[in-house]
A = this chain, B = another copy of it.
Amino acid sequence: MSRLLDLIRSGRGRVIVAVDDPLITLSRFKELVMKTKDVVSGFKLGLPYILSYGLDSIRSVITDFRDTYYIADLKLADIDVVMSLTTKVVCRVGFNGVIAHGFVGLKGGLDGLKSVCDELGVDLYIVTSMSHLGSTEIYDLVIDKVLSVVEGLRPTGVIAPATRPEVIRRVRSYLGRTYLILSPGVGAQGASPGSAICAGADLEIVGRAITSSQDFVKASEEVIKSQLKYLEVSRCY
């Protein structure tokens, strides 16, 4: 079972903080982790951030704060050999999970990546649909095929967009309760905190609403409070 589920069950907020923009300095990122790691469930680092600061710098933060959960959000979408090499490289610095695109398919693609993740003890999350409008142009048209790839693969969880709650409902209804659903698009991208959880997600991914704040703890606690309020008002329980 994923350590992420343990963290949720231990009472951390249902929030993963997304760190993408290199304008967030490394010392601010360290401060973010130090101050919010007992409030939120984990941190998702995007490709621009990891590339900007380099894996050695990221390792130094991860090593200092081991009692949380780190996802390398590289949106892997390559052949098995390349995705596996990448995963080996990033997980050496302590990431607990990686994200790959369902679009890539199993044979010679996600199948090989899954084996490497299993060997390394790393959680794998599969994108089933994305938070921007362009996702409706192609991705969402084949969502059933992507979900059947997920069923064939049996990853730790999937990614489905908070900006289109009907997609989260579709994903939850197709996959049942077996997989964690992580949902980006909350805050700056427009979805209200709590709305994705109400539609069936386990965790909401929040970036700028927390990382742009001067007070990380206050901003995180406000997101969590807003989630609870949304769930109560919308009678999601």
Q: Residues of A at under 8 Å CB distance from B?
A: 20-22, 46-48, 50-52, 54-56, 74-82, 85-86, 88-90, 101-111, 130-139, 141-142, 145-146, 149, 189
Give the Cβ gap from A187 to chain B, nearest Cβ, in Å. 12
8 of the cross-chain contacts (CB-CB < 8 Å) are A20-B82, A48-B82, A79-B132, A104-B130, A107-B134, A108-B134, A109-B130, A138-B145
Cα distance, A232 to B107, chains bound together (Å): 34
> Which residues from B are CB-within-8-Å of A108?
132-134
Give the Cβ gap from A148 to chain B, nearest Cβ, in Å. 9
Most central of A50, A54, A105, A131 by chain B CB within 10 Å: A105
Is there an interface contact between A132 and B103, defined as CB atoms closer than 8 Å? Answer: no
**How many copies of this chain are found per oligomer?**
2
Cα distance, A149 to B20, chains bound together (Å): 26
Most central of A88, A102, A110, A134 by chain B CB within 10 Å: A134
Is there an interface contact between B82 and A47, defined as CB atoms closer than 8 Å? Answer: yes
Is there an interface contact between B89 and A109, defined as CB atoms closer than 8 Å? Answer: no
Is there an interface contact between B46 and A51, defined as CB atoms closer than 8 Å? Answer: no
Cα distance, A133 to B137, chains bound together (Å): 23
Give the Cβ gap from A184 to chain B, nearest Cβ, in Å. 8
> Which residues from B are CB-within-8-Å of A142?
138, 141-142
Is there an interface contact between B80 and A132, defined as CB atoms closer than 8 Å? Answer: yes
Give the Cβ gap from A153 to chain B, nearest Cβ, in Å. 11
> Which residues from B are CB-within-8-Å of A88?
48
Is there an interface contact between A46 and B82, defined as CB atoms closer than 8 Å? Answer: yes
The 4 tightest CB contacts between A and B, nearest first, are A105-B134, A108-B132, A109-B134, A105-B137
Given A20-B85, A81-B20, A85-B21: A104 in contact with B134 (beta carbons within 8 A): yes
